[in-house]
Amino acid sequence: MSALRHAILGLLARGAHTGYAIAKQMDRPLSYFWQARHSQIYPQLEAMTRDRLIEPTTIPGPGPRPTKEYRLTEAGREVLLAWLISPLPPLQAGRDDFQLRIWSAWLLSRDQVVALVRQRRALVAERLAEYESTMTGVGAGDDLSLDDPLFAEWMSLQAGKGYEEHRLRWCDQMLTRLGANT
Amino acid sequence: MSALRHAILGLLARGAHTGYAIAKQMDRPLSYFWQARHSQIYPQLEAMTRDRLIEPTTIPGPGPRPTKEYRLTEAGREVLLAWLISPLPPLQAGRDDFQLRIWSAWLLSRDQVVALVRQRRALVAERLAEYESTMTGVGAGDDLSLDDPLFAEWMSLQAGKGYEEHRLRWCDQMLTRLGANT
DNA sequence: AAGCACATGTAAACAGTTACATGATTAA
DNA sequence: TTAATCATGTAACTGTTTACATGTGCTT
């Protein structure tokens, strides 16, 4: 199951959409959602229909081909739910599976969301510790010369560490909002 | 010119490396650098050699095939520098061109780094404004029910907004360190 | 009448992952 | 002697982008 499938399932769980509407949501990268072009989405909708995760109904619309509105099948909803509560993959660069799951967190119970965020928090804390131990080896930033490769590395590490700190704070904020202690 | 090429050029600007050493650096995602597997790197090194951006010298080493150490050519250095000072592409999801450039910022003058970070800051500030205007439409988070899709959207938007705030703070920190006012 | 948003698709190229394949050197 | 690390490559597959292709309905 690819991330794109999960993104589409997450969108359709909120209601029926045409391929065009899905493509429009995924075309602009705001709100931390998945990004994809319509040329990727239309074939994927075909494949998901074949796999009985979604089903189309033809509705009136413009253009040379029939306009189709897709909705989740029961199997589709089950696949989405199973993915939401499966163990998180390790942190990786680029596209973020966890962030995609959060978009569908409204389908889960409070306890399930808390468990998901706690898993995330553990992974982020681990990564943050790696950053901190790496950074003791690089130096203080103020002591480094601008034309020293270590200065550039320090800048990169500052960015990476700040990023993980943000993600950790977010987890803690959400756990507080959910009424769970960190 | 693909991002992978720029990543390899940035690494080789710091000194000669074997394909294996490059692959090792790029295999672990720490320090905000580019991620790639050796299966992507070896063919790319071939292609870059053909394009005269890098050149190999055979050195003694283990295994059935010759061990090659690559270094930048003058043309390679020029391509790297030209990329570093070219206008930043728009913010996109996933892999981050700017973060990759920062890794090679030690090759630039103070003024060039300041210009680069200011460009970034402008793009991030623009995005942050988009987040803020979107979030007024969603609501307060505390008022929303956990099983409301808007609650999940609020969580996503909180994460995205916090991310942009982090990037903005990073720009300001770096500009201060560089002795430039925001 | 021109231009834009709606709407769906395909083709070709490029990027990236996983798995296969080989073998020397070094340390436990 | 067994295992890890060094070292380089290819093949098959999956994912993503860019460009091509078509035509309606609404607004200016």
CA distance B45 to chain A (A): 22
Whether residue A96 lies inside any domain: the answer is no
CB contact under 8 A, A146 and B35: no
End-of-domain residue from the set A56, A89, A122: A89
End-of-domain residue from the set A38, A56, A89: A89
A162 touches chain B (CB under 8 A): yes
**pLDDT tens-digit readout, A120-167:** 999 999 999 999 999 988 878 788 999 999 999 999 999 999 999 999
Question: Are A80 and A10 in a shared domain?
Answer: yes
Whether residue A16 lies inside any domain: the answer is yes
Selected residues 18-77 of chain A with any CB under 8 Å from a CB in chain B: 29-35
Burial class (CB in 10 A: 0-12, 13-18, 19+), A174: buried
Residue A182 has pLDDT above 80, yes or no: no
Model pTM score: 0.95
A170 touches chain B (CB under 8 A): yes
Question: Are A81 and A151 in a shared domain?
Answer: no
Task: Tell me the CA distances in angstroms from B173 to B90, B105, B117, one per residue in order.
Answer: 22, 15, 10
* pLDDT (average), residues A63-71: 96
Count of pairs with CB atoms under 8 A, one residue in A, one in B: 131
Give me the CA B39–C1' D9 separation in Å, rounded: 8
Q: What is the pLDDT of residue B31?
A: 67
Q: What is the 3-state secondary structure (H, E, C) of chain B?
A: CCHHHHHHHHHHCCCCEEHHHHHHHHHCCHHHCCCCCHHHHHHHHHHHHHCCCEEEEEECCCCCCCEEEEEECHHHHHHHHHHHCCCCCCCCCCCCHHHHHHCCHHHCCHHHHHHHHHHHHHHHHHHHHHHHHHHHHHCCCCCCCCCCHHHHHHHHHHHHHHHHHHHHHHHHHHHHHCCCCC
Whether residue B37 lies inside any domain: the answer is yes
CB contact under 8 A, A106 and B156: no
Residue A39 or A136, more confident = A39
Q: Which of B181, B171, B178, B176 is nearest to B119 (CA)?
A: B171
Residue A32 has pLDDT above 70, yes or no: no
Q: What is the CATH number of the domain that holds B71?
A: 1.10.10.10
Question: pLDDT category, B92, cuts 50, 70, 90?
Answer: confident
Question: Are B29 and B73 in a shared domain?
Answer: yes
CB contact under 8 A, B105 and A155: yes
Whether residue B182 lies inside any domain: the answer is no
Residues of B with Cβ-Cβ distance to A34 under 8 angstroms = 93
Residues of A with Cβ-Cβ distance to B173 under 8 angstroms = 158
Give percent of chain B above pLDDT 90.
85
Q: What is the pLDDT of residue A156?
A: 95
A155 touches chain B (CB under 8 A): yes
Whether residue A103 lies inside any domain: the answer is no
Of chain A, the end-to-end C-alpha distance in Å amounts to: 31
Whether residue B141 lies inside any domain: the answer is yes
A126 touches chain B (CB under 8 A): no
CB contact under 8 A, A158 and B169: no
* pLDDT (average), residues A33-54: 96
Question: Are A84 and A124 in a shared domain?
Answer: no
The number of residues in chain B equals 182
- Indicate the number of domains in chain B: 2
* pLDDT (average), residues B128-153: 90
Whether residue B67 lies inside any domain: the answer is yes
Question: Are B70 and B130 in a shared domain?
Answer: no
Q: What is the pLDDT of residue A54?
A: 98
Residue A48 or A92, more confident = A48
Query: Are A173 and B158 contacting, i.e. CB atoms less than 8 angstroms apart?
Result: yes
Q: What is the pLDDT of residue A147?
A: 97
Give me the CA B42–C1' D1 separation in Å, rounded: 32
Domain that holds residue A114: 109-177
Question: What does the alpha-carbon distance between residue A172 and residue A181 come to, in Å, rounded to a whole number?
Answer: 8
Residues with CB under 7 A from strand D: A 2-4, 35-40, 62-64, 95; B 18-21, 23-24, 38-39, 42-43, 45-46, 61-69
Q: By three-state DSSP, how is residue A146 classified? A: coil
Question: What does the alpha-carbon distance between residue A96 and residue A3 come to, in Å, rounded to a whole number?
Answer: 9
Residue B32 has pLDDT above 80, yes or no: no
- Residue B92's φ and ψ, nearest 5 degrees, are -135, 165
* pLDDT (average), residues B57-62: 94
Question: Are A128 and A80 in a shared domain?
Answer: no
User: At how many degrees (to 10) do helices A19-27 and A3-12 cross?
Assistant: 110
**pLDDT tens-digit readout, B100-125:** 999 999 999 999 999 999 999 999 99
Question: What does the alpha-carbon distance between residue A54 and residue A70 come to, in Å, rounded to a whole number?
Answer: 6
Residue B99 has pLDDT above 80, yes or no: yes
Question: What does the alpha-carbon distance between residue A158 and residue A125 come to, in Å, rounded to a whole number?
Answer: 16
* pLDDT (average), residues A78-96: 94
Residues of A with Cβ-Cβ distance to B34 under 8 angstroms = 93
Give me the CA B22–C1' C14 separation in Å, rounded: 21
Whether residue B61 lies inside any domain: the answer is yes
* pLDDT (average), residues B45-49: 98
